Amino acid sequence: MFKLLKRKGRIPCPRPGLLVFLLVLMALSHCRQPWNHPYPETAGKNWYLIAMASEPSTMDPVRMNDAPSFAVASNLVVTPFQYAYLKRPIQMEPFLARRIPEVQRGQLQGQPAYFIELQLSRKYYAPVEECLEDEYQDDRGRPILARDLELNLKRNADPGSEAFMYSLLAENIVGFKEYNQYLREQRQQSDFPSLSAKEQATALADFYSKPIAGVQVLGPDRLRIYLNSSSDRILYFFAMVSSAPIPWNCWNHYVAQDRNEHALDRTLIASGPFYLTSWEPRDKIILDRNELYDDSYPELGDRDSWPEALQKDSERAAKVRKLAGTPLPMSDRVILYLIQSGSTVWTLFEQGYQDRVTLTSDSYEGVLEGGELRPEYVKRGVRLTTEAELATFGWIFNLEDPVLRNNVPLRQAIRCSINAEELIRKFFEGRAMVAHGLIPPGIEGFRNSPVHSRDCSPARMQALMKAAGYPDGLDPKTGKPLTLRIIDVPRPASASFHSFLVDQVGKLGVRLQVDLFDAPTYF
């Protein structure tokens, strides 16, 4: 992925000379404070401005399951572990925890079990919430405690939370499934949906007073978790936003104001470099510096472990090395503008009103020359960075749909019909690779070749459609083309992208209907 960034300040104005004196004055005035500045309040500030194409669905770490929500919340919270920013391949390292624990064998009620033990260092919440004023508060704010992580796990077990990571936790933590069932029964017995917000808060406090069998708080900064097996997969959960801690008092305070399922959708108790100042739907999200955040820019290690972009750019690597030890965050405020139109974002960037933008295929020809920035952009202070995104994307089948549920040949035919190589050429300028598994390159477990060879010839696809019961794509019940529905979110160049998918699936004789939703509705 290509991204463009501007150096400190806005794009400098040209100097037209002295031939037209009036225009010189107007131009200089425009440089200081443009008459048509779309964001006049940002001028001259140490603020970072960036556009988002999709709006987050929630700020509740337990409930969130979409990329926009994770992207915002990752700036607001700390987790026991994190991924080393300047190391490749990607490595997990301690963050809130003092170290990454080894899975050890122990005893739980006479039964053998494995456990991990988290020992937390003192990281503080932003002092913006009255609910943080408890017996643990000091002159530096409120430390994160082991019981805050325990509360996160209880909320992940609660069926009312619809937790994104429930399956992983239920598979690995002793007593997690049983706790889920216990909470389900308590909700039913109390007729929970009929309770007022305050009554729900009281009821949940009572429900949660019972511990999870495999989760033990050993002290203010120590948490022991018993596991069903010796697998260390659960450690990766504690590097996700989904594991972000929340103090009991604050959680109870917000539940009492709104019903449990939505209590934290629009707020977040910050423990990270920024805190959430405001969220104006369909407009912008503002994050401000957390003055109590205590972390600094990491040191650049051995060259062999550098990200590829730094290995190719010694000048940039030297600048990164000088940043080591700089207190974080470096910006006083981050403003995320919710703008779906890629052309609008690019226009704002061209005018100096966005600090970072992803370069789309529509802009390559006018911006790049031989894979490098054109000289006029370099002179204007624009910098090009090339990043390999640690991401995999694709489409999933709804296996509850009666047409697709048990029809393996139909699913195989649809997969074969979409030419992934052609899609990459048309929409990613060849800067992507066909996935042969869910794990992207740069992470342990990446697979760069298919396990089984795949025959996707036209004859093979037609044979699959016949085996699926839809020869030539026709529904035998109606004699008309089978119609399938795909739902997606709007994206830059989405019209041509989705038209490509319709044409590809059309090779089977199948009609593909595309329905677009905003991100919160989609997820």
CA distance 133 to 170: 33
Check if the beta carbon of residue 105 is closer than 8 Å to that of residue 112: yes
Q: State the burial class of residue 77 (Cβ atoms within 10 Å of its Cβ: 0-12, 13-18, 19+).
A: buried
For 415-453, give the DSSP string. HHHS-HHHHHHHHSTT-----SSSSPTTSTT---S-SS-
Closest CA to 165 of 59, 65, 269: 65
The predicted structure's pLDDT at residue 473: 95
Q: Does the predicted model carry a pTM greater than 0.85? A: no
The predicted structure's pLDDT at residue 521: 67
For 278-344, give the DSSP string. EEETTTEEEEEE-TT---BPPPP--GGGS-HHHHT-HHHHHHHHHTTT-BS---SEEEEEE---HHH
3-state secondary structure of 267: coil
The predicted structure's pLDDT at residue 20: 27
The predicted structure's pLDDT at residue 31: 41
Check if the beta carbon of residue 247 is closer than 8 Å to that of residue 134: yes
Point out which residues pair with 275 in neighbouring strands. 288
Helical (H) or strand (E) element with 102: none
C-alpha distances out from residue 40 to 281, 284, 431, Å: 20, 15, 37
Q: State the burial class of residue 283 (Cβ atoms within 10 Å of its Cβ: 0-12, 13-18, 19+).
A: exposed
Phi-psi region of 109 (alpha: psi -120 to 50; beta: other; left: phi over 0): left
| Cβ contacts of 403 within 8 Å, gap of 6 or more | 410, 482, 484
Q: Which long-range contacts (CB under 8 A, 24 or more apart) does 406-413 make?
A: 407/468, 407/469, 409/464, 409/465, 409/467, 409/468, 410/464, 410/465, 410/468, 410/469, 410/470, 412/464, 413/461, 413/464, 413/465, 413/468, 413/508
For 290-315, b/e burial (b = at least 16 CB within 10 A) is bebbeeebbebeeeeebbebbeebee
Residue 121's φ and ψ, nearest 5 degrees, are -90, 170
CA distance 64 to 57: 7
The predicted structure's pLDDT at residue 232: 84
> What is the radius of gyration, based on Cα positions, of the chain?
26
| Cβ contacts of 357 within 8 Å, gap of 6 or more | 3, 4, 51, 345, 346, 349
The pLDDT tens digits along the chain (523 residues) read 444 554 443 333 333 332 222 222 223 333 445 556 677 777 778 998 888 888 999 999 999 988 899 999 999 999 999 999 999 888 899 999 998 998 888 888 887 788 888 888 888 887 667 888 888 887 777 889 999 999 999 999 999 999 999 999 999 999 999 999 999 999 999 999 999 999 999 999 999 999 999 999 999 999 999 999 888 889 999 999 999 999 999 999 999 988 777 889 998 889 999 999 999 999 999 999 998 898 999 999 999 988 888 888 888 899 999 999 999 999 999 999 988 777 787 778 877 777 887 776 666 677 877 777 888 888 888 887 776 666 677 788 899 999 999 999 999 999 999 999 999 888 876 778 888 887 777 676 778 788 777 789 999 999 999 999 999 999 999 999 999 999 887 766 678 889 999 999 999 999 999 998 776 666 5
Q: What does the block give as tokens for 308?
A: 């590829």
CA distance 443 to 231: 18
CA distance 441 to 56: 26
- Position of tokens 């805050």? 148
User: What structural domains and CATH numbers belong to the chain?
Assistant: 67-270 (3.90.76.10), 408-522 (3.10.105.10)
For 25-43, b/e burial (b = at least 16 CB within 10 A) is eeeeeeeeebeeeeeeebe
Strand-strand pairing, 274-280 and 333-338: unpaired
Q: State the burial class of residue 79 (Cβ atoms within 10 Å of its Cβ: 0-12, 13-18, 19+).
A: buried
Hey, how many other C-beta atoms are within 10 angstroms of the C-beta on 477?
Answer: 8
CA distance 425 to 423: 5
Q: What does the block give as tokens for 459?
A: 């004859």
CA distance 317 to 245: 34
